[in-house]
Structure 1
């Protein structure tokens, strides 16, 4: 066999492999869908749109935010687990969808570990304890006294598992009695709080900020032990007579189970670069959030730890059904 013929045969044998590689689409090859479990106008919606804009710019494809609110994130999560694991469908999950729901919802319909690929944590989110300004209380101690003087008469709004558990922990620690009113999201609950149909609630800082400035809502304290850079004057509840009180929610980026390692790594690197930028940190601070990036391995361990933690949180709050 001549050298020329041998080279031709080798080249011919390699053609199927070259063709197969050429047929593998690069990521992303089309717009990316970012599914969220909160309604338009919510703080998480604003976070998702900021993140989507930055991801789209870095990836060279638009990122379209798709809102599927309701059922504490179950609807959105179930949507994502059936998507093709090619990186074109992502989920901005939270402590609700990936930790709390394990204990708060029967027949969840998905496994937060087995059915998802962790990409990166995105934020840590403390909440504010706020009251309608017409309620005759100006401090946490006065709220507790007022609630005990009117047992079962006060009501509060919940728009997600975070606001629900944070309020339940407050009730459990103080012994007050109040009625929960459930909403599909925080904006709807906030509307009723401002209108006076609710007395107090635990809420995202940005959602409530305009009404605090207008004097319609009064802030009593912060659920996290550390103060927010955007609201340094608001003291943690742990410093206001509720020793040991702590609640923080979080958000993170996930793909469906089976997301290839190279796509996972690429997305994680883009998210980490985005969150480490001064512009994103400043923007998230204005939303009342703390930018918190992590690689897929650390984020996966964090989610597992959160599932264990939420067993305690939900049971201490008297909410666990599983």
Structure 2
């Protein structure tokens, strides 16, 4: 059984009928705000808006998305860490906000374990190596050769810590010298890639998809060990001569620390029900996303594992806290 089916089954087995759970208290009785640490139009933003629409209907109250990009998701995380723990302010966090920043920022301004209540993991998000279609390369091997012939001449965009470490792992594993350029998110980075102002990017598949299909961009490899349904003909980086290469971003729902157990349970039930819905599974597949629905306890353990993993990744890719 694969990780997606196993996680969804575990979450589904823990669900009581949502209406029964809501009847046990008055929460929620007003709009719930989800702070998003990414720009509108990013793959995670697209996923979040789909999730909040469905979860809001289950909970009987609207959910709104408040985009607060920047500082590798630290801006959004700080806002939610300091918010009241009443269940009306949440964050769709992920590898940047709740793992990488421990090792990439000197002072994130929050503790990803102590300052948050885990609710559920939502997804795994593989990235893709994408170049401007005018770059004279069609495979990873051609790209590596092209870059090695131009040491220090190519640049790449980093819109978050996931994009950064995925690119750093590539340059380190392939032995190429390229310069990173920081962007507030994947969408503006993609705009500059199309315009030719940068040379390559480790991009969200759903953000890159329309431009790949239009012929403006070209996908050279997937960062996960498995190909994705959205681009089944794009091979993984690992199967193109870099067998140890593997990276995937992830997303999860968190609340401020100290969220009451009954509210945590209601939110978990709603999000788990949404993520296990067949329509959401199909939507995620079309967006290059692997849907998940884990328990709060599983998410807590996962975050701690990811913090340790990012320590190794930061060292391997030469990232020092900024």
TM-score clears 0.5: yes
Shift of 1:313: 0.7
* Deviates further, 38-47 or 173-182: 38-47
Q: Give the 5 Å matches for 1:31-180.
A: 31-180=31-180
Q: In structure 1, the residue corresponding to 2:93 is in which secondary structure? A: strand
Q: Deviations over 1:73-95 (max 9, x none)?
A: 11101100111111111110010
Q: In structure 2, the residue corresponding to 1:121 is in which secondary structure? A: strand
Alpha-carbon separation, structure 1, partners of 2:55 and 2:82: 22
Alpha-carbon separation, structure 2, partners of 1:31 and 1:219: 40
Alpha-carbon separation, structure 1, partners of 2:55 and 2:83: 19
RMSD of aligned residue pairs (Cα, Å): 1.2
The equivalent of 1:316 in structure 2 is 316
* Deviates further, 230-239 or 71-80: 230-239
- What is the total number of aligned residue pairs between the two structures? 299
Q: Give the 5 Å matches for 1:244-259.
A: 244-259=244-259
* Deviates further, 182-191 or 226-235: 226-235
Q: Which runs of 5+ in 2 are unaligned?
A: 1-23
The equivalent of 1:28 in structure 2 is 28
Q: In structure 2, the residue corresponding to 1:123 is in which secondary structure? A: strand
Q: Give the 5 Å matches for 1:149-228.
A: 149-228=149-228
Q: In structure 1, the residue corresponding to 2:157 is in which secondary structure? A: strand
The equivalent of 1:282 in structure 2 is 282
Question: Larger Rg: 1 or 2?
Answer: 1
Q: In structure 2, the residue corresponding to 1:164 is in which secondary structure? A: helix
Q: Deviations over 1:146-204 (max 9, x none)?
A: 11111111111111111110000001111100111110011110001001111111000
Shift of 1:232: 1.4
Alpha-carbon separation, structure 2, partners of 1:176 and 1:52: 41
Q: Deviations over 1:113-162 (max 9, x none)?
A: 00000000001000001111111111111111111111111111111111
Q: In structure 1, the residue corresponding to 2:131 is in which secondary structure? A: strand
Q: Give the 5 Å matches for 1:263-302.
A: 263-302=263-302
Alpha-carbon separation, structure 2, partners of 1:124 and 1:319: 23
Alpha-carbon separation, structure 2, partners of 1:258 and 1:28: 17
Shift of 1:230: 2.0
Give the structure-2-normalised TM-score: 0.91
Q: Does 1:239 align with 2:201?
A: no
Q: Deviations over 1:214-271 (max 9, x none)?
A: 1111111100001112221111111001111000010000000000111111111111
The equivalent of 1:12 in structure 2 is none
Q: Deviations over 1:42-70 (max 9, x none)?
A: 21111111111011100000001111110
Shift of 1:25: 6.8
Alpha-carbon separation, structure 2, partners of 1:282 and 1:123: 13
The equivalent of 1:5 in structure 2 is none
Q: In structure 1, the residue corresponding to 2:120 is in which secondary structure? A: strand
Alpha-carbon separation, structure 2, partners of 1:247 and 1:44: 16
Q: Which runs of 5+ in 1 are unaligned?
A: 1-23
Shift of 1:41: 1.6
Alpha-carbon separation, structure 1, partners of 2:231 and 2:143: 21
Q: In structure 2, the residue corresponding to 1:304 is in which secondary structure? A: helix
